[in-house]
Structure 1
Amino acid sequence: MIKFMNKGTDTSSSRASRWILWVGYAACAWGIWFATLHALLFFGGGSFDIPNISRWLYILLTTLSVLLFTTAALFPLSLIWPFHWLRKSRLQMITLVLAYIGMLGFTLYELVLAKNEPGAVGFGVGVCVLGVIVAFIRPRKYNIAQWMVLIATWAIGIGMTLYGGAYICLSFFQPTFEQGLSYFSLGGINFTVEGILFVATAWLISRYGQ
């Protein structure tokens, strides 16, 4: 009877571990797809129409955006990382460093070059400061890097889900079908699916651990 219970527990744990891995991989893959799509639209002269700034500022803004989206894709991956050639804690530290570099670069761009987005500057500074605060308010079972990555994955996931949901709602109020479809697919579906996958990864890690 005891062996049967242990076997059932092991089977359940193994099933949960597989779910964590596959959802985490899916979240990372969608994040990379989203960053790639962002880059392709930029290099192909797509939908990023930014008036009243120079070409170099446009290039800098879009490059920082692509880097930030690419770094975001590493958050769920660093939570479920199963390989031994690079320790999970080290990947989490690398992810955090890249995220801070990207966010600080974006904030400096808005402060020094753009000079027209005080809200963006406040957001960038707020995220960096909040990340430091979060590092010191954590359960004992998590190390600092793991806890910061987990909270960031939750925050990115919830934010993207809400942002994508807003795009989906706005898509129904566009004057033309083409504009509505653009809002629904490029903004709504991309952000919403990525957000849901991030939230699912964070929830599974919080619930079952990894």
Structure 2
Amino acid sequence: MKPPEDRVQFGGVGRKSQDLKILFQYLRNVGYVPEGWNPTNCFVAIPSSTDPAHADELQRTFDDIVNMKDGRKVPSHEDFIGKPTPVDAPMIERMREMLADRENICIYNAEMQNSKLVHFDVDKTHNARMLTHFYAFIFFQDWRQDLWTKRFIRDHVRYVDEIVCAAARVVRAVRERARKYNPENVDGLFDSMHVRRGDFQYKKTRLSAE
């Protein structure tokens, strides 16, 4: 299925919003669209291989937890305060921690693995908004893959050194100003505030500075 009007570019001044709606609808028509992938209700489970048996094992482990097969109650966040699960713990223990206070498991199954395109429909009308940290949403069956992914993000998906160094110079300047303002503040301690006057596309949250 060809893209609308055989176009390969979408967006532009004055037409970005409408263009993106056309593009997203096209992607939903030609791709696989997972349903129910809401971080509030489920966590994503990545099998350790493409072998269907591994996806089945993930589902069985989840079922055992929610059915309290081992006699333990369904986990909640409070169960892990001050008691984090070791990164190399058995899969069921790591899954219990990831499941805490959620109801479902969203498995990266064979259908998704074999799809040429997977499109995540982030639409508030479908109760789908992936506004969360990846490490609090994605569960890897193999703990080694979990660590590799987190280290990859840590080392490569971050601000470049030039930006970090520029920010450090700003902090140093603010500390110096704080010391001059109060000589007893030898550490240059200061308070800061992040004022957010709006939440992305929700116009009703856009407050004026006044």
> What range is the shorter-chain TM-score in?
under 0.3
Normalization by structure 1: what TM-score?
Answer: 0.27
Greater C-alpha Rg: 2
Task: Name the structure with the higher strand share.
Answer: 2
